[in-house]
Chain A
Amino acid sequence: MLRRSIQAARMAAVLAAVLLSGAAHALTSAEATAMATGDTDDRVAAINQAVLSADAKTMAFFQALAGDTVKTTASHVYLMKDDKGYDPVTGAELKVPADAEDVVNNNLLRSTLDTAMAALQLASPDDKVRADAVQVLLNEPDESRLPLVEKALAAEQVPAIKARLERVRAASMLDSADRAHRLEAAATLADSSSPEVKLLLNERLAKEEDAGVKAALLAAVHSIDGRLVWGDRINAIFSGISLGSVLLLAALGLAITYGLMGVINMAHGELMMIGAYATYVVQGLFQRYLPEAWFGGYLVAAIPVAFLASALVGAVIERGVIRFLYGRPLETLLATWGISLMLQQLVRTVFGAQNVGVENPSWMSGGFTMLGNVALPWNRICIIIFAALVLAAMAWLIGRTRLGLFVRGVTQNRPIASCMGVNTARVDTYAFALGSGIAGLAGCALSQIGNVGPDLGQGYIVDSFMVVVLGGVGQLAGTVYAAMGLGILNKFLEGWTGAVLAKIAVLVFIIVFIQKRPQGIFAVKGRSAEA
């Protein structure tokens, strides 16, 4: 809803800009007819022609065409709005005859329309709209738009967009009949490091006949390749670390409840889901009750809320169910699975079965680009940092505080800890609540990079158990290595085999690995190994 209205506002701004720039001449009804009827090639040509002399009405007509709200008869073109027809040129209301036909657009026409609209958006005063438009144009360069691009280039102030416009200009000249133009294009594009440009160059290379231009094109492709290789590697490592830190966040809570306490908590994923929904609720409260300027801060407020919400639910689960099942892991597994089903359904009842929208705060959207094809989104970077912070906090809590001491004591030898005066039942509850709270933090983080819905947790439960088992039960360091290792392995395999096969390969790898080392990467040595 919000997005749509923003888009509408942007469109209005574009229209105003086009009007102010005083386009050469207005849309004529002959043009409109040519764009709406006839065979595809003619229509494409008509649309590309209309771009050069566009005004606000042309833009409106493009939008109507793209939105499938244009009808035609043999003599007339009608813009449909609320079941009424309007003349695209004069805007006067017309009576639509019953035999008027809908204009049908195929994919070629749609992409032509998109590029045509992007070309018009080059005049927009909004930097972001222009940047997006440039991106669209870069994918579909066409020599016919060269004048428009050059005009935009002359007016452009923002250096980054200007540089990209240069590339669009060069790309538009690639298919030029003039050899000098093609050479110039190859030279300009050689500086680029985007995969799209490489694709364009290769396309041209296949068609090119002039030996000199061919050599220039090849050189350009090579120079792009050199940059792309490094970019690809950095990308794979970065997304591997990013996936690894997501896995780590998902598994850290489990490392306490399963690794330390030995509780098979199949509802762990649902505790993450609760954290994500808590984030959603906090976002809603910020939107409704606080000034808009504060909205960016909702995430900071959501972190403790997510932690507490999940910790509370975790404590209730521990007191209500798990407490009775200590020492019976298989039954704990089934009971917590039951809890997970109920929590999922509860969320469906309260929030609906659809995914809910959690927006990134503005300081987390976007990212920075290096080497051309390496784009590091801020939200991913934030999650890596967040995972590191949570890990540090947990290590401190378990290793340095009194509560951590109790938890370790109780898990190592319950009767002795009890003899020392530790209230073991209470420690169990605290430890379980802590693990659940960390799951809530993971959910809060996940809400920033994925969909928030009732089955959010389901996707992570197998993964997080794999991480804990692989790392070695009860080993925090092992969990970290396992999460990072699996994340990076997964991403490298993904580049090689595709996402699904990579996932399957990783699962098979884990199954085989556990056969070899049933105790995980870091085995606990000593007599307690059998327990």
Chain B
Amino acid sequence: MSHPILPPKAPLLTRKGWGAFFAALIAVCALAPVLNLWVPEGSALHLSDYGVALVGKIMCYAIVALAMDLIWGYTGILSLGHGVFFALGGYVMGMYLMRQIGRDGNYKSDLPDFMVFLDWKTLPWHWALSDSFIATLVLVVAVPGVVAFVFGYFAFRSRIKGVYFSIITQAMTFAAMLLFFRNETGFGGNNGFTDFKRILGLPIATQGMRMTLFALTGCTLLGFFLFARWLVASKFGRVLQAIRDAETRVMFCGYNPLPYKLTIWVISAVMCGVAGALYVPQVGIINPGEMSTAASIEMAVWTAVGGRATLVGPILGAFLVNGAKSWLTVAAPEFWLYFLGALFIAVTLFLPDGVVGLWRRLARRKPTPVAAPLRESVAREAGQARSAPAVPAAQVTEAAR
């Protein structure tokens, strides 16, 4: 048996890529804190607290978009349930933050205010671990992970795919939202959790704490980016893309798609959970609205706008869409839904590869318009050999859509 000829492994990032990566790292960990904490308020360079909160929030969304990209862009499975995983991570963190309030709530009770309001005397069982920060960190990963594993195992085992999968994930989201809206479920009903006071015993509403969370989110995002980069370039990542492009053929080649799909599905869910856990202390509230079906579909559009099957794309998409959202919902609230709706239509009709795809098309067109398709086909022959990260975008086949 001859060994299959695999193209040489591409470096994790190109030299330019590493440059950009470290620039982003410095911007998040050093530049932003300096501009926010030490540059005086009147200065043009000052980064306002509002800006910190906004960018911090969007970075959480960017993690979600990245997770969405792994499952949709690279594996071809459109999930309309990622809002659930995001909210689960957020709720786990929220429970810890609620316990940190201690007796400083309105009712001066050991229990969170909403429980006093419901006249509960003891903590329900699922709050048992909410006092410990370590346990919370474990649960932030474990809860979305386990839920995703169970749901994914049964769904993928029955070979539910394509639109069917999207629709049942949407049903899951809807059911979860209804469940969390109930007061009796023990998650604060439709008000959710809010009014947090402390994290790890330190006050949560200070500038320093906000900046710490901001930098932490930024580092997490960049870390997940590198991880995703490594993942999609690995053999595992290649199988994922093969499943996306022709699942039946992958099966004929002797692969069982189930473990591959399940693994990436769980990874994606865990990333969402982590993003949710970072989101809650920064935004200061979590409620079942995060689980609405609309919220989950919006996540898909961040990825689509940026460009599926690219890794920079989703991050860019999250920033573009949410930046536009926070600007438009203030400047012209009645136009936001028109804009968002038009964005959904325009991206699917005109920008199948998102902003990144558009950028590549423009960049490619300039030098030699004729050579472009040729080069693309060469790249396809070579099996995504050269500049591995850049090419797959062009290869999202019709089947994957």
Contacts and interface: CB of A to CB of B under 8 A. Distances in A.
A516 B342 contact: no
A145 B341 CA distance: 62
Contacts of B342: 338, 342
A331 B164 CA distance: 14
Contact of B293 (A462, A469, A514): A462
A504 B179 contact: yes
Contact of B171 (A264, A328, A334, A466): A466
Contact of B163 (A333, A342, A346): A333
A518 B293 CA distance: 22
A469 B167 contact: yes
Given A333-B166, A349-B334, A518-B160, A340 B175 contact: no
A339 interface: yes
A515 interface: yes
Nearest to A317: B345
A158 interface: no
Contact of A338 (B168, B293, B341): B341
Contacts of B345: 321, 335, 338-339
Interface in B164-185: 164, 166-168, 170-172, 174-175, 178-179, 181-182
A469 B340 CA distance: 28
Interface string A495-531: 0000011011001101110111010000000000000
Q: DSSP majority for the B interface?
A: helix
B308 to A, nearest CB: 10
Nearest to B158: A515
A49 interface: no
Contact of B344 (A327, A341, A511): A341
A511 B168 contact: yes
Q: How large is the interface on B (under 10, 10 to 19, 20 to 34, 35 or more residues)?
A: 35 or more
A338 B72 CA distance: 18
Given A329-B163, A465-B167, A466-B171, A504 B178 contact: yes
Interface in B58-91: 72, 78
A91 B81 CA distance: 66
A372 B337 CA distance: 49
B326 to A, nearest CB: 17
* Residue of A264, A344, A345, A503 contacting most chain B CB atoms (<10 Å): A345
B334 A345 contact: yes
Interface in A333-391: 333-335, 337-342, 344-346, 348-349
A351 to B, nearest CB: 13
B338 A329 contact: no
A514 B347 CA distance: 31
B304 interface: yes
A8 interface: no
Nearest to A332: B348
A324 to B, nearest CB: 6
Contacts of B181: 500
Contacts of B171: 462, 465-466, 507, 510-511
B340 A511 contact: no
* Residue of A327, A344, A465 contacting most chain B CB atoms (<10 Å): A465
B219 to A, nearest CB: 31
A469 B168 CA distance: 9
A403 interface: no
Given A462-B171, A466-B171, A518-B164, A334 B159 contact: no
B162 interface: yes
A334 B344 contact: yes
B300 interface: yes
B334 A348 contact: yes
A104 interface: no
Given A328-B398, A504-B178, A516-B158, A345 B166 contact: no
A342 B337 contact: yes
Contacts of B231: none
A334 B297 contact: yes
Contacts of A345: 334, 337-338, 341
Contact of B341 (A341, A466, A511, A515): A341
Interface in B333-366: 334, 337-338, 340-345, 347-349, 352
Contacts of A325: 348-349
Contact of A264 (B157, B163, B172): B163
A332 B304 CA distance: 13
A518 B154 CA distance: 11
A337 B293 CA distance: 11
A342 B338 CA distance: 5
A331 B167 contact: no
B234 to A, nearest CB: 25
Nearest to B163: A329
A500 B341 contact: no
Contact of A327 (B72, B158, B398): B398
A247 to B, nearest CB: 14
Given A327-B398, A328-B401, A341-B340, A462 B348 contact: no
Contacts of B398: 327-328
Q: Which 6 A-B pairs have the closest CB atoms?
A: A338-B344, A342-B341, A341-B341, A345-B337, A507-B175, A328-B401
Interface of A: 264, 266, 321, 324-325, 327-335, 337-342, 344-346, 348-349, 458, 461-462, 465-466, 469, 500-501, 503-504, 507-508, 510-512, 514-516, 518
24 contacts: A327-B398, A328-B401, A330-B163, A330-B166, A333-B78, A334-B348, A335-B349, A341-B338, A342-B337, A345-B334, A345-B341, A461-B293, A462-B171, A465-B171, A469-B164, A504-B179, A507-B171, A507-B175, A510-B168, A511-B171, A514-B158, A515-B154, A516-B158, A518-B160
Given A504-B178, A518-B158, 19 more contacts: A321-B345, A321-B349, A330-B78, A332-B348, A334-B300, A334-B347, A335-B345, A337-B344, A341-B341, A342-B338, A345-B338, A461-B293, A465-B171, A500-B179, A510-B171, A514-B160, A515-B154, A515-B157, A515-B160
